[in-house]
Structure 1
Amino acid sequence: MKIATWNVNSLNVRLAQVSEWLARHQPDVLVLQELKLEQDKFPAAAFRMSGWHVEWLGQKTYNGVAIISRAPMRDVHGGLPALPDDPQRRVIAATVNGVRVINVYCVNGEALDSPKFAYKRQWFAALNDFVRAQLAAYPELVLLGDFNIAPADADVYDPDKWRGKIHCSDEERQWFAALLDLGLTDALRRVRPDGAHPTWWDYRGAMFQKGLGLRIDHILLSDALAAKLQDVQVDTAARAQERPSDHAPVWAVLG
């Protein structure tokens, strides 16, 4: 099984790139974040014409998540039960060939002293509760997407510059570690323990060209899936395209 995640930073802008990526890489599952379009504006027909199954939660201007699958999906769920009134579309889950797929676009938080950071704290607590319950029901589970957390200094191009800043604070890293403590494995670090392997580069300052990015997009596997892990890659070629997303796709192969 090949499963991938990509924050596309507007599906309207990147639809051709996503379609080409699907045709070239032929994943079993691709999850998308930051659709930035309303529910009824999702280009479902464009994917279905090519044989893909799609489930999505859209939101105008911001957020939005989708799962694109080669096989039909069942038990589709949106949102976090602990935050039933949250209007932000950030979580969608579905079962594909027995594997529970949870796609997340985690809260950015803006800055540690921002009200948005307090929301991020609440949101990650709700995510932890949700994943714990899902793991109890689905032994084969993958949690993946844009986490907006660089888990360790090795995931940051300049740890001193980023220390204590958003994405890299001790508190955020504790939230990420708490997810792993539920019984999840950071797929990339299982296969590639050394090196930075960034997945996001700021548009400003030619950061991609300079190789200065953060690893904030992750694939986390339950024990049953981690035992099948064969490879993980960050597709930097997608970030090098004209008018790219500021994120690169990340994919894992499970035997």
Structure 2
Amino acid sequence: MKIASYNINGINARLDNLLRWLAEAKPDVVCLQELKAPDDRFPWKALLAAGYHSIWHGQKSWNGVAILSSYGEIQETRRGLDGDPNDLHSRYIEAFINGIVIGCLYLPNGNPFPGPKFDYKLKWIKRLTKHAKKLNGFDLPVALVGDYNIMPTELDTYKPEKYIDNALFRPEARKLWQILLSQGWTDAFRKMYPEQRIYTFWDYLRNAYQRDAGLRLDHFLLNHKLADKLQSATVEKHVRGWAHSSDHAPVWIEISEARAPHPS
């Protein structure tokens, strides 16, 4: 089973690229972020024609998350996180697909630091951590997938000293990442590449892609029921080089097929 994540950075503007990649890579499940489209503008018909059912939580101009599946109709289990009834951002959607609970998330960027956007980021991570603990209590395999907007270690950026005061690399956010992992989650890419610099994002500025001046922002966290089934992890860097591409590359993991009981 191939589970992918792709911050598409505007689904309608880059729909051709998305469809091209889906046809090329043939993932089974895809978590999309930064749709930048309201619900009524989500291109579900084009995706269905390509063989993917969809659930989505859109937002005009900003944010937005979706899950695609080639397995058929998707059972949505949640959208949004508890803990802030005034938070209207579309950043989390969750589904049960082929025996696995899959949470698709777009964690807040948090810049500029310091400021209210960074404070919101930290609060959002805490809300995610609380929900993740609940998921971990289920007797089901779980994957939390998406753009976390966190570089957990110095291996996750081409130039750590440049990002000292960047919300993506601030110690406050990285500490909360470690607290989340301490629940028993496995960082899939670090499990497969414990010492290697792996990037999933290259800025549009200063020829970052051509210089391979990248960041690792897109992560797969797997609970103990799923981590042992991990077989591979791949960044499709070449897609970032396509014309009109997102600044993120699609990333995916492959896990051994194993169906679980239906959630009650």
TM-score between both structures, scaled by the size of structure 1: 0.97
Establish whether residue 212 from structure 1 lines up as the match of residue 196 from structure 2.
Answer: no
| Identical-residue share of aligned pairs (%) | 40
Q: Which amino acid aligns with 2:119?
A: A
1:42 corresponding residue in structure 2: 42
CA distance in 1, matches of 2:183, 2:74: 25
CA distance in 2, matches of 1:193, 1:38: 39
1:185 corresponding residue in structure 2: 186
CA distance in 1, matches of 2:144, 2:84: 18
Deviates more, 1:147-156 or 1:175-184: 175-184
Shift of 1:138: 4.9
Does the 8 Å contact 2:63/2:89 carry over to 1? Answer: yes
Q: Which amino acid aligns with 1:186?
A: D
For residue 120 of structure 1, give the secondary structure of its aligned residue in structure 2. helix
CA distance in 1, matches of 2:75, 2:85: 21
1:117 corresponding residue in structure 2: 118
CA distance in 1, matches of 2:139, 2:103: 11
Shift of 1:81: 1.4
Does the 8 Å contact 1:99/1:138 carry over to 2? Answer: no
Give every structure 1 segment of 4 or more consecutive aligned residues whose post-TM-superposition deviation is greater than 2 Å: none
Does the 8 Å contact 1:100/1:138 carry over to 2? Answer: no
Does the 8 Å contact 2:103/2:145 carry over to 1? Answer: yes
2:174 corresponding residue in structure 1: 173
CA distance in 2, matches of 1:164, 1:222: 31
2:67 corresponding residue in structure 1: 67
Establish whether residue 7 from structure 1 lines up as the match of residue 7 from structure 2.
Answer: yes
Residue correspondence of structure 1 range 216-255 to structure 2 within 5 A: 216-255=217-256
Deviates more, 1:19-28 or 1:37-46: 19-28
CA distance in 2, matches of 1:133, 1:191: 26
Backbone CA RMSD of aligned residues: 1.1
CA distance in 2, matches of 1:161, 1:38: 35
2:54 corresponding residue in structure 1: 54
CA distance in 2, matches of 1:135, 1:95: 14
CA distance in 2, matches of 1:47, 1:160: 41
Q: Structure 2: which 5+ residue stretches go unaligned?
A: 257-264
CA distance in 2, matches of 1:213, 1:130: 30
Establish whether residue 16 from structure 1 lines up as the match of residue 16 from structure 2.
Answer: yes
Aligned pair count?
255
2:130 corresponding residue in structure 1: 129
TM-score between both structures, scaled by the size of structure 2: 0.94
CA distance in 1, matches of 2:134, 2:126: 13
1:101 corresponding residue in structure 2: 102
CA distance in 2, matches of 1:112, 1:176: 17
